């Protein structure tokens, strides 16, 4: 049944911009303060106040537009989108309607499909600037709804995609690439759990071979990759089942409870006429010069896909490693700083993708909060490369570094973990182990290779993992092949 249908998805993504102040006043955009401490007559919409556009908002939106291959409008304007709701003190939101700042862009994304990875180009219809609404807090105890104006008029960009995506995997890949680009540009902190990056999913289905789109629903405010994926699976199945039953899809606005895995209809969808859009009379049009746009273009940072290519070329890393390290700018920064202290890119990439990612996941923190700093990470690999510690001990030291934030030299010294590379000391232990395990010697001679592994293991046990494994192997072979 599902195979007979094609799923059509278009995303509307809202990103809060990382400006210090709000879009039309001097209030701070800082997150997490006491309610209603970051507001003034302008952002609370008092009569008689006038907005003044924050220039940074335009700069950040143009950056996002250029990085996603959009055309930048030399002339654009802001409009009032009217609706009545307690989160909107002016009863209109200043947004952009017919003349957005950026349009007609695209992004190339790598999709992790069920039959392997593939590349796809997704169109970007437009990027416009607008203001965020206040936050409503529902008090379950009293039944009251409270309004926190701190978020009111925090600047946003809305990035609207073409209906080009055909699966949950493609939508997630698009969102991941977009997040990575916005982070690289440093125009948004993209903290999905705090709501600074969130998306509305427009979805319809049609029978394969059909050329007309079906009726779509719009599910609002998804704020994790998992929720986006789960909602798409849920909503595609719901629409297909409905159609198979002979039912119809209503154009409606919906929400999704990711914990329960269920979507709900909220209201029938309004269209543009309902908002009575008209030009904002208190703000002048935005007119951009060629020099202004060229200047931003010339100062764009290295984008993730370019950085990835460079890692492959310069550090001879496999594509996969390069991708893992460059998806997030913070991880790329960590990697680049580490290799300035010890130049072994492949080994350092392995530590980051393996042990560091695992520990960060467990602790649910990001790499900038990692207790292990690049300099110490480099030192650990250096100690290992120079044979001062064995790889087994290195793992142990790594764990301790993550727990205590101590430097690897200090841990190695305090715990006496320096690798034993002294020939006579190792020989003594190897000889003892061979004497104590005559059966293994017999097994080895009978061609059972596993016996060698066992004897190495015994030596490592005797030395608490500190013996140089290469030397242990060589010496054991020498003795076994002699006797």
Secondary structure of residue 2 in the 3-state scheme: helix
Q: Are 200 and 219 in contact (CB under 8 A)?
A: yes
Told to check if 328 binds ligand ADP by CB under 6 A, we report: no
Smallest gap from Cβ 10 to ligand ADP, in A, equals 2
Structure tokens at 131: 């203001």
Q: Which does 58 bind (CB under 5 to 8 A by kind): Zn ion, ligand ADP, Mg ion, none?
A: none
Secondary structure of residue 55 in the 3-state scheme: helix
User: Cα separation of 187 and 64, whole Å?
Assistant: 8
Which residue number is nearest to ligand ADP in terms of Cβ?
A: 10
Smallest gap from Cβ 86 to Zn ion, in A, equals 18
User: Cα separation of 270 and 218, whole Å?
Assistant: 11
Pairing of strands 197-207, 217-222: antiparallel
Secondary structure of residue 338 in the 3-state scheme: helix
Nearer to ligand ADP, 4 or 366 (CB): 4
Told to check if 202 binds ligand ADP by CB under 6 A, we report: yes
Smallest gap from Cβ 218 to Mg ion, in A, equals 5
Told to check if 236 binds ligand ADP by CB under 6 A, we report: no
- ∠ CA(158), CA(160), CA(165), 5° rounding? 140
Smallest gap from Cβ 180 to ligand ADP, in A, equals 20
- Cα 28 to chain centroid distance, Å, stands at 25
According to CB under 5 A, which one of 11, 25, 61, 67 is a site residue for Zn ion?
Answer: 25
Structure tokens at 468: 């140089």
Told to check if 94 binds Zn ion by CB under 5 A, we report: no
Q: What are phi and psi of 400, to 5 degrees?
A: -65, -40
Transcribe 402-451 into DSSP letters: HHH---HHHHHHHHT---B--HHHHHHHHHHHHHH-HHHHHHHHTT-THH
Q: Is 32 exposed, middle or buried (0-12, 13-18, 19+ CB in 10 A)?
A: exposed
- ∠ CA(294), CA(295), CA(297), 5° rounding? 60
Pairing of strands 252-257, 217-222: parallel
- Near ligand ADP by CB under 6 A, which window of 52-60, 113-121, 212-220, 380-388? 212-220
- As a residue count, the chain comes to 483
Told to check if 14 binds ligand ADP by CB under 6 A, we report: no
Told to check if 236 binds Zn ion by CB under 5 A, we report: no
User: Cα separation of 16 and 221, whole Å?
Assistant: 13
Told to check if 252 binds ligand ADP by CB under 6 A, we report: no
- Near ligand ADP by CB under 6 A, which window of 26-34, 211-219, 301-309, 460-468? 211-219
According to CB under 6 A, which one of 80, 216, 329, 466 is a site residue for ligand ADP?
Answer: 216
Residues 6+ apart with CB under 8 A from 353: 321, 324, 325
Told to check if 43 binds Zn ion by CB under 5 A, we report: yes
Smallest gap from Cβ 81 to Mg ion, in A, equals 11
Told to check if 10 binds ligand ADP by CB under 6 A, we report: yes
Nearer to ligand ADP, 11 or 109 (CB): 11
Smallest gap from Cβ 135 to Zn ion, in A, equals 15
- Near Mg ion by CB under 5 A, which window of 7-15, 185-193, 247-255, 420-428? 7-15
Nearer to Mg ion, 175 or 185 (CB): 175
According to CB under 6 A, which one of 12, 59, 87, 409 is a site residue for ligand ADP?
Answer: 12
- Near Mg ion by CB under 5 A, which window of 4-12, 326-334, 350-358, 378-386? 4-12
Smallest gap from Cβ 38 to Zn ion, in A, equals 7
CB-CB neighbours of 66 under 10 Å: 18
- Near ligand ADP by CB under 6 A, which window of 10-18, 79-87, 175-183, 449-457? 10-18
User: Cα separation of 388 and 128, whole Å?
Assistant: 57
Told to check if 222 binds ligand ADP by CB under 6 A, we report: no
Structure tokens at 185: 């540009």
Q: Which does 337 bind (CB under 5 to 8 A by kind): Mg ion, Zn ion, ligand ADP, none?
A: none
Q: Are 176 and 120 in contact (CB under 8 A)?
A: no
- Near ligand ADP by CB under 6 A, which window of 104-112, 130-138, 201-209, 426-434? 201-209
Told to check if 66 binds Zn ion by CB under 5 A, we report: no
According to CB under 5 A, which one of 8, 11, 27, 433 is a site residue for Zn ion?
Answer: 27
Which residue spans within 155-294 are E strands per DSSP? 155-161, 197-207, 217-222, 252-257, 262-268, 278-279, 286-287
- Near Mg ion by CB under 5 A, which window of 6-14, 107-115, 267-275, 359-367? 6-14
- ∠ CA(216), CA(219), CA(223), 5° rounding? 145
**82, containing H or E segment:** strand 79-82
Give the residues lining the site for ligand ADP (CB under 6 A): 8-12, 160-163, 202-204, 213, 216, 218
Give the residues lining the site for Mg ion (CB under 5 A): 12
Give the residues lining the site for Zn ion (CB under 5 A): 25, 27, 40, 42-43
């Amino acid at each position: 049944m599902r195979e007979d249908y094609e799923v059509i998805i278009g995303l509307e993504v809202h990103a809060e911009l990382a400006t210090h102040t709000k879009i039309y006043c001097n209030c701070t955009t800082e997150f997490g303060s006491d309610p209603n401490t970051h507001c003034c007559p302008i952002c609370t919409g008092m009569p008689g106040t006038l907005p003044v556009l924050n220039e940074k908002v335009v700069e950040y939106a143009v950056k996002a537009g250029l990085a996603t291959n959009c055309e930048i409008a030399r002339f654009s304007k802001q409009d009032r989108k009217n609706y009545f709701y307690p989160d909107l003190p002016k009863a209109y939101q200043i947004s952009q309607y017919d003349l957005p700042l950026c349009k007609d862009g695209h992004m190339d994304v790598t999709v992790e499909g069920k039959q392997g990875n593939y590349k796809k180009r997704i169109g970007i219809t437009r990027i416009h600037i607008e203001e965020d609404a206040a936050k409503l807090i529902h008090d379950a105890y009293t039944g009251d709804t409270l309004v926190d104006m701190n978020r009111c008029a925090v600047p946003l960009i809305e990035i609207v995609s073409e209906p080009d995506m055909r699966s949950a995997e493609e939508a997630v890949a698009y969102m991941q690439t977009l997040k990575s680009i916005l982070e690289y540009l440093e125009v948004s902190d993209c903290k999905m759990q705090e709501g600074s990056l969130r998306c509305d999913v427009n979805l319809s289905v049609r029978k394969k071979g059909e050329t007309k789109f079906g009726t779509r629903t719009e599910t609002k405010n998804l704020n994790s990759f998992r929720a986006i994926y789960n909602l798409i699976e849920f909503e595609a199945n719901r629409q297909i089942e409905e159609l198979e039953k002979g039912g119809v899809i209503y154009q409606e606005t919906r929400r999704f409870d990711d914990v329960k895995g269920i979507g709900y209809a909220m209201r029938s969808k309004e269209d543009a006429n309902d908002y009575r859009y008209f030009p904002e009379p208190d703000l002048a049009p935005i007119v951009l010069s060629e020099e202004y746009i060229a200047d931003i273009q010339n100062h764009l940072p290295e984008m993730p896909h370019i950085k990835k290519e460079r890692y492959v070329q310069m550090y001879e890393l496999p594509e996969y490693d390069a991708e893992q390290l460059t998806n997030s700018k913070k991880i790329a920064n960590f990697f680049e700083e580490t290799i300035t202290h010890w130049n072994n890119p492949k080994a350092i990439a392995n530590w980051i993708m393996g042990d560091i990612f695992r520990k960060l996941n467990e602790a649910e923190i990001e790499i900038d909060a990692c207790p292990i700093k690049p300099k110490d990470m480099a030192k650990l690999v250096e100690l290992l490369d120079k044979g001062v510690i064995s790889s087994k001990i290195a793992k142990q030291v790594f764990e301790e570094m993550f727990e205590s934030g101590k430097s690897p030299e200090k841990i190695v010294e305090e715990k006496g973990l320096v690798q034993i590379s002294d020939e006579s000391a190792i020989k003594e232990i190897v000889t003892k182990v061979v004497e104590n395990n005559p059966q293994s010697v017999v097994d080895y001679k009978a061609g059972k290779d596993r016996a060698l592994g066992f004897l190495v293991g015994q030596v490592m046990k005797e030395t608490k993992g500190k013996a140089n494994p290469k030397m242990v192997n060589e010496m054991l072979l020498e003795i076994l092949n002699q006797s």
